[in-house]
Structure formats: C-alpha cells, structure tokens
Chains A and B, each alone.
Chain A
Amino acid sequence: MRRGARDGVVEARGLSVRFGGVAALDAVDFTLADRELRCLIGPNGAGKSTFFKCLTGVLRPSEGDIRIRGVDCVGAHPHRIAGLGVGIKTQVPSVMNGLSVRENIWIAARKRNSTREANRIVAETLERIGISDSAGEPVGNLAHGRRQLVEFGTVLAGDPWLILLDEPAAGLTAEEAERAVDIIVEMNDRAAIIVVEHDMHFIRQLAKTVTVLHQGRILTEGHVDSVLSDPLVRDVYLGKSQ
C-alpha cells in the first residue's frame, strides 16, 4: 500500500469535528493516493458520515486541515469542491426525480462541457451504466436500484478524478450491487475513489485497502482480508470493545 504523503490527492491532517462535547471525529489523519480505491468502514456512529461530509464541504471541521490535490478545502462550498473535479454520491440517492434519466445526466455532463459535447457524453454514459432503455423516463418512476445507477451516471458524466461514494450499496439487490461493484472498479481506472460503506460483502467484492473508523478515530488500516480478520475489528463491529 502506498502511503506517500507527497502524492496524496486527498490529505486530511488532525481532522476533528465536535458537536458540543461529543467528538464525532478526533484528530483523524488520512491520505489517499492517486487512483487509489479506499473503503472506509466502521460501526454506526464511528464518524464515517461526518468524515464524508467534511470532505464534501457540507460540514466544516472544528479543527484540522483538508487538502484535495493541494487545494485547501476547509470551509469550501460543496460546489467548489465538486468544481475541482470531484464526483460525489450521497447516501440517499440524490437525483432529479421530475426529470428524465437523460436530462439528469446531461446536466451533470454540461458542467464542464459544451452542449454538443454534453450530448455525446450522455449517450456514452447511458451505455456505460446500462440504462439506455429508460433514458426518456422520469427518474422518479424508476425503482430504487435504477435510481442509484442514475446517480452513478451523473457522477460518471462529470468525468471526475476523485470520487466520493457514501454507501453506494445501500438498498441494492445482490445483482445491482454487483453492477455497482463493476462500475466502481471501472471508474477506478481513471479516478481515485473513497467508498464509505458498512456492507462487508460489498467491500470484500471491491477487495482493496480498508480504513476502519471507530469512535471518531482510525482504528486500523490495511488490506481488506487482514483487516476483516483482525479480532479487534470484529469486536468493534460486535460492540465488544470498550
């Protein structure tokens, strides 16, 4: 595993978030290398979502420093972070329900391209996520799993170099989850990815480096197999630790 501080596309140093007296994140150091695929796991309340929200600019950390490709992102608005070329998928599918699948993806593609170029990207993206047959349908009419795919499509269409995914497998059927794994692995060819997830089966399929958060701190970091067989991690998940 590469952990060179120099080539980190995401670097968090001493990141803390406190809500009143509760520290949701406590001096977390985190580095993501270019083209790396990292899974972030942990039991409920471990600080995964808080960490994710800091990265996406939704939440301002109480202390610490976040740099995305060297750009200081503390307190930056989500649209600025996204504007750096970061693709973000939230926990609940965040799509434009009243608009067609095509229009959803077009709006994503138009951000960094001309209208003509965006039209081309839409066709390409629909193909890639395998949803061309419902291109004209309003997203709100689609089943949950299809909507997740549409959201993947909006992320893909922006051609990001860094992708942040919050619980991409939530609510997916086994088959859809497999499709999601394929898409994530494929996206990893061009982008570094952070996946926040607690579906262990899903993470095993991705089979990459895992960071375990527990009570706002990093418990351990390593390859998925060694981490998941670590008794300490198991205890944390089963609630046995102090």
Chain B
Amino acid sequence: MTARQTLTAVIVAAIVMFVLPVFFDVLNLTTFAAYALLALSLGFVWGYGGILCFGQTAFYGLGAYVYAMTAINTGEAWSGVFLAIVIPAAFAAVLGAMMFYGRLSDVYLAVVTLVVSLILFRFMNTTAGEQYIIGKARMGGYNGIPGYPTLHIPGDPEAYIYDENLYYFTFIVLVLCYLLTRWLLGSPFGRILVGLRENEQRIELLGYDVRARKTAAFAFGGALAGLAGCLYANAAEIVTPELFGLGLAAEIIIWVIVGGAGTLIGPMIGAAVLGYLKFVLGLRAIKEIFGKDNPLEAPLVFGTILILFILFLPRGVAPTVQGWLSRAPLGRGGPARGGQRRRTRTERARPNA
C-alpha cells in the first residue's frame, strides 16, 4: 500500500468517524466498531488465508473474558488490553498448529473451530460456582462478569475513557488494525499467504512451509478478534457466555459474506450495517407492531439476507461495488482483486479446471 493510499484511507476514516455520531448513538457505534474489528479478523483469515474459521467467536469471547478478569485483578485496564490480545493469539496459535500440522482442512477445520467455540460457551455457562474464581475475578456462569474497570487514560485508573471518547478510541483502534492488516497483506508474508489460499500445493512445492504460515495467519486473526472482544467488553461493561455462542458465530460469517470475502473493507461494513439492523430489529417499537408473531425476528431476517446474497450477489457488496467503480481495485492493488473473486471461488471448487 502506498503512502497516498494510506493517507486517503485515514482521511476517509476520519470523516466517517466524525460524521457517524451525528446520526447514531455513540454506544451503538462503539459496539459496531468492535464488531467491525471482529469481522476484519475473519475477513483476513478466511478471505485472504482461505481458512474458513467458523469459531472466530472463541477468540473474541476469550479476549473479552481475559480483559474483564485481568482488569478486576489488576484494578486497571491496560494490562487487560495487552493480555486480551496476547492470550487469544496464543490460543489461536496452539489450536491452529494442531489443525494445520494435523493436515485438517476445509470443512473439518470449520467444524473443529466451531466446536471449540461451543465448548467454551458451555464451559463458561457452568462457571457459576464459588470454585470458579481466578484471582479476585469470579467467572459468574451464565450471568457473566459485570463491574470490571474499563478503559482509562494510561497511568490514571480514575480517568475513564467512556461515551464519545470510548467511541473515538475504538474507531481509531479499528482503523489502525485495518491499516496494519493491509500492510501485512502487502508484505511478502501476505502475498505468499494469498498464494496459499489460491493453491496450497503449489506454495508447498515452492518450498514454503504451509503449516507454519497458516498457523501464523490464524494467530494474527486470533489477536485481532481478541482485541475486538476487549473493545466490546469496554462498551458493554459486562461479558457473558453469549459471546462464544452459536448465534454470533453464524452472524460473523454472514457479515463477511454480505460485505464481501476477499476484501477487508467489505466485512467491516457488513458487520456495522448488519449490527445496526439487528439493533433496529430488537427495538421494542418493531416488536410491538407485530406482537407475538413477529416476522422480523433477527435470525429469520439474517437467514433471508444470507440466502439472497448467496443467490444474487455471491461476491458480496464491496467487490461488486469495486467492480462498478472501475476495473481498478479499491482495496490493495496486489494479490486478491475483488473482481477476480467469483472465478477463483469456482476454480477452488474445481482446482484443476
């Protein structure tokens, strides 16, 4: 990515950041920014690494829990932020190493990651008892953990960052992570990773250790998801086992498909827009219009959206728009061009066609 592209991205992001609060509630926006970071992590792992991780929530939830428990124990936030990145990344590295060195791929990988997430979900639900306590932090079972210290100015645990400032902080972190990911994709590691998505065997026959590279990419995705969980925890001020749940796990996949796998901006926009849609569908006013037989239950609406996109816009929004704007890609100029996604997907199904 050139300096000019970076500058453009930063300027656009700054404008968006200041305009959004005019129309939307900042607490919602903070949550959507955390969702967007989570979507970015899956967009990277799946869209560029070709690793369909169905359990990205595992790292997200872990990030949130690690943050909450560390913050309770240390009485300040920043050690929590640090561990909320490092521990999910390490967990992803171990899990990834087991899968990739064990030669698991595709659908098995999706199942294993989903199951790991659901195991964490079940486990966290059972931690209501007195014995589940780490340091000063009770894990709280299905009630989750409330009342932990939230973000504050470094060095001053009383100077909380909240409301608008938390929103700006979260948004800026999101933009920085986006730029970092784009930089990574432009580096030799990223370019080879995209090659790996296209043809794992070829990369291996060129002498690259596919297992180590996939593990590293997966760990990076875990770190981003963990940070997203930490940011969410700061916005929500409570963490619950729902973070590991099946509902969210499925939603992330929908965000990425709708926004467009193979781009970074697409999943982020998908997450924010669908996050907002879910919020609207959850409003009491909507529920009262339809009463008991509400046809606009979120899962139903999301399922419909998913089916419509797969049928009519399988590449997702961002690649399609990019295709319209010009043949020149809006995203990184290098490996994965939006305009090529459709063909490469078919080709992956028939690798030798």
A contact residues around B341 at 8 Å (CB): 98
- Cβ of B199 under 8 Å from chain A: yes
A contact residues around B343 at 8 Å (CB): 97-98, 138, 140-141
Docked pose: A158 CA to B206 CA in angstroms: 7
A contact residues around B209 at 8 Å (CB): 77, 79
Pick out which of these stretches binds chain A: B121-129, B189-197, B277-285, B303-311. B189-197
B contact residues around A95 at 8 Å (CB): 199, 202
B contact residues around A16 at 8 Å (CB): none
What is the distance, in angstroms, from A239's C-beta to the closest C-beta of chain B? 28
A contact residues around B2 at 8 Å (CB): none
Count of A residues near B, CB < 8 Å? 30
Assuming the A-B contacts A82-B206, A103-B334, A140-B347, are A97 and B192 also in contact, with contact meaning beta carbons closer than 8 angstroms in the complex?
A: no
What is the distance, in angstroms, from A177's C-beta to the closest C-beta of chain B? 20
- Cβ of A56 under 8 Å from chain B: yes
What is the distance, in angstroms, from A116's C-beta to the closest C-beta of chain B? 11
What is the distance, in angstroms, from A159's C-beta to the closest C-beta of chain B? 11
Docked pose: A138 CA to B292 CA in angstroms: 53
Question: Do B207 and A83 touch (CB < 8 A)?
Answer: yes
What is the distance, in angstroms, from A4's C-beta to the closest C-beta of chain B? 28
Q: Across the two chains, which residue of chain B brings its CB closest to A104?
A: B195
- Mask, B173-217, CB within 8 Å of A = 1, is 000000000000000100110110111011111111110000000
Question: Do A115 and B204 touch (CB < 8 A)?
Answer: no
Question: Do A158 and B198 touch (CB < 8 A)?
Answer: no
- Cβ of A5 under 8 Å from chain B: no
- Cβ of A108 under 8 Å from chain B: yes
Count of B residues near A, CB < 8 Å? 28
Q: Across the two chains, which residue of chain A brings its CB closest to B205?
A: A88
- Cβ of A107 under 8 Å from chain B: yes
- Cβ of A110 under 8 Å from chain B: yes
B contact residues around A94 at 8 Å (CB): 199, 201-202, 205
Q: Which 8 A-B residue pairings sit nearest by Cβ, starting from the closest?
A: A98-B344, A96-B198, A82-B207, A83-B207, A92-B352, A88-B205, A94-B202, A107-B195
- Mask, A81-112, CB within 8 Å of B = 1, is 01100001010111111110001101110111
Docked pose: A56 CA to B192 CA in angstroms: 21
A-B contact count (CB 8 A): 86
- Cβ of A154 under 8 Å from chain B: yes
- Mask, A65-86, CB within 8 Å of B = 1, is 0000000000001110011000
Query: 26 pairs across A/B with beta carbons < 8 Å?
Result: A77-B209, A79-B207, A79-B209, A82-B207, A83-B207, A88-B205, A94-B199, A94-B202, A94-B205, A95-B199, A96-B198, A96-B199, A96-B202, A97-B199, A97-B343, A98-B194, A99-B195, A103-B191, A107-B191, A107-B206, A108-B206, A110-B191, A111-B206, A140-B344, A158-B206, A158-B207
Docked pose: A92 CA to B208 CA in angstroms: 20
What is the distance, in angstroms, from A185's C-beta to the closest C-beta of chain B? 22
- Cβ of B74 under 8 Å from chain A: no
Question: Do B195 and A90 touch (CB < 8 A)?
Answer: no
Docked pose: A97 CA to B346 CA in angstroms: 11
Q: Across the two chains, which residue of chain B brings its CB closest to A86?
A: B207
- Cβ of B256 under 8 Å from chain A: no
B contact residues around A110 at 8 Å (CB): 188, 191-192
- Cβ of B141 under 8 Å from chain A: no
Question: Do A103 and B335 touch (CB < 8 A)?
Answer: yes
Q: Across the two chains, which residue of chain B brings its CB closest to A157?
A: B206
B contact residues around A112 at 8 Å (CB): 207
Docked pose: A108 CA to B208 CA in angstroms: 9
Docked pose: A99 CA to B194 CA in angstroms: 8
A contact residues around B205 at 8 Å (CB): 56, 78-79, 82, 88, 90, 94
- Cβ of B53 under 8 Å from chain A: no
Question: Do A107 and B344 touch (CB < 8 A)?
Answer: no
